[in-house]
């Protein structure tokens, strides 16, 4: 196990800067997920940890040792990629044994490790097959097995499940976590899929545009996003947002939606007053909204809008509706009839609103 620390890490390709001032501390034995849209710098960060990319500025430590200039081969890491990287002409057994043979490990120790990993991954019956005689899921298990047998201090996984179908992906998520628990290595896992991040990560690193936006547990990111980007990226269906006028008067502030009403909590009112702007970006998670009557006097938050689209998902439906200043989504039981074009009112509790600076997108705190 190894603690991995990045201090002010930057990466340039010629004039293009792809990583900006990245700071991160990955704990011993932790399963950490780097997540973000395509091009956000996840793979570059992973390759820097691996030693496959040179760091332009900043420092990388494995435990207390600075490893900026330590070769890939000397870092005691194992990598698993999306495209498996198996040798097609070798059996499953030989694919898994290859790295160990090259290190001149004793034959019986190699055999013990390969069989143990094969048991763990349910591929023991296929050890004599060639990769092309396996399904995608089985191939990915072989790739994982090849990493496990090395007994590395650090596992690096780059979108390992993205070639698999949806059903198999869900199954393999659990398997990878099981393997991680069994081998107790520090694991860094790259994905663009926030569901994968939420379900797998001890902690998650949200990246965009070459920057780390937030690091936290799945609960922390979901409940307390630092900014609008994290709020919108984590969670399905995604949080909806709208810009709402704010009336500032004598140190007090109120949110005044164009159609409906918002009674903020005292603490929220103070945040808006301190923010001082004449508008605020409000975010609401879809599960916090429910259909209401337009004259509902009991609701803290009542918002009127027009249904834009309805997505039917079986047990429930996602209702997307347009309000002045933005668009919100609500999860609605399927018994409730809602149609595109319909005028609707939704209610929520004030404590479930997220407030963001309308200019910077930072969460008001």
Chain residues binding ligand ADP by CB under 6 A are 13, 16, 18, 36, 38-44
CB 118 within 8 A of CB 124: yes
Q: What φ, ψ does residue 36 adopt, rounded to 5°?
A: 170, 165
- The torsion angle over the Cα atoms of residues 71, 74, 78 and 80, rounded to 10 degrees, is 20
Give the nearest distance from C-beta 158 to ligand ADP in angstroms. 8
Q: Closer to ligand ADP by CB, 205 or 355: give it.
A: 205
DSSP state of 107: H
Q: Closer to ligand ADP by CB, 48 or 134: give it.
A: 48
Give the nearest distance from C-beta 7 to ligand ADP in angstroms. 19
Alpha carbon 343 to chain centroid distance?
A: 35
Q: Closer to ligand ADP by CB, 42 or 203: give it.
A: 42
d(CA 348, CA 299): 7
d(CA 323, CA 342): 12
d(CA 162, CA 192): 9
Give the nearest distance from C-beta 15 to ligand ADP in angstroms. 10
Tokens matching residue 33: 């997920």
Give the nearest distance from C-beta 153 to ligand ADP in angstroms. 23
Q: Closer to ligand ADP by CB, 41 or 260: give it.
A: 41
Q: Closer to ligand ADP by CB, 142 or 205: give it.
A: 205
Q: Closer to ligand ADP by CB, 13 or 87: give it.
A: 13
Q: Closer to ligand ADP by CB, 44 or 329: give it.
A: 44
Place of tokens 């010629």: 14
Tell me whether strands 77-81 and 154-158 are parallel, antiparallel or unpaired: parallel
Q: Closer to ligand ADP by CB, 41 or 305: give it.
A: 41
CB 50 within 8 A of CB 72: yes
Give the nearest distance from C-beta 53 to ligand ADP in angstroms. 8
Range list of β-strands (E), 218-300: 240-249, 252-255, 260-262, 279-284, 290-292
Give the nearest distance from C-beta 16 to ligand ADP in angstroms. 6
- Sequence-distant (6+) residues with CB within 8 A of 150 are 78, 99, 100
CB 114 within 8 A of CB 149: yes
Give the nearest distance from C-beta 3 to ligand ADP in angstroms. 23
Q: Closer to ligand ADP by CB, 131 or 160: give it.
A: 160
d(CA 321, CA 289): 11
Give the nearest distance from C-beta 160 to ligand ADP in angstroms. 13
Give the nearest distance from C-beta 49 to ligand ADP in angstroms. 12
d(CA 200, CA 33): 8
Q: In what order do the strands lie in the sheet with 16-26?
A: 16-26, 4-13, 57-62, 65-66
Q: From residue 176, give the alpha-carbon distance in Å to each of 228, 285, 335.
A: 31, 30, 38
């Amino acid at each position: 196990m190894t603690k991995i620390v990045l201090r002010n890490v930057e990466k340039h390709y010629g004039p293009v800067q792809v990583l900006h001032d990245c700071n991160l501390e990955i704990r011993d034995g932790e399963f950490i997920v780097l997540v973000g849209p395509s091009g956000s710098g996840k793979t570059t960060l992973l390759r820097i940890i691996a030693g496959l990319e040179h760091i332009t500025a900043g420092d990388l430590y494995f435990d207390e040792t600075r490893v900026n200039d330590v070769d890939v081969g000397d870092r005691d890491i194992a990598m698993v990629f999306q495209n498996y990287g198996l040798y097609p002409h070798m059996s499953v057994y030989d694919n898994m044994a290859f790295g160990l043979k090259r290190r001149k490990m004793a034959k019986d120790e190699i055999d013990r490790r390969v069989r143990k990993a094969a048991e763990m991954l349910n591929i023991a019956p296929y050890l004599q097959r060639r990769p092309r005689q396996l399904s995608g899921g089985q191939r990915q298990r072989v790739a994982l097995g090849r990493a496990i047998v090395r007994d590395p201090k650090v596992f690096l996984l780059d979108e390992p499940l993205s070639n698999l179908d949806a059903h198999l992906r869900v199954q393999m998520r659990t398997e990878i976590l099981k393997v991680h628990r069994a081998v107790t290595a520090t694991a860094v896992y790259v994905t663009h899929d926030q569901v994968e991040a939420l379900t797998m990560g001890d902690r998650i690193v949200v990246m965009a545009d070459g920057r780390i936006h937030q690091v936290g547990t799945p609960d922390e990111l979901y409940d307390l996003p630092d900014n609008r980007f994290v709020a919108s990226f984590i969670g399905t269906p995604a949080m909806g947002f709208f810009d709402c006028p704010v009336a500032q008067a004598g140190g007090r502030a109120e949110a005044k939606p164009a159609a409906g009403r918002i009674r903020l909590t005292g603490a929220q009112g103070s945040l808006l007053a301190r923010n001082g702007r004449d508008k605020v970006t409000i975010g609401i998670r879809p599960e916090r909204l429910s259909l209401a009557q337009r004259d509902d006097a009991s609701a803290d938050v009542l918002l009127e809008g027009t249904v834009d689209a309805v997505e039917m998902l079986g047990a429930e439906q996602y209702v997307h509706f347009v309000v002045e200043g933005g668009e919100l989504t609500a999860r609605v039981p399927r018994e409730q009839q809602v149609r595109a074009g319909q005028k609707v009112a939704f209610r929520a509790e004030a404590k479930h609103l997220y407030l963001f600076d309308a200019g910077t997108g930072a969460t008001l705190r």
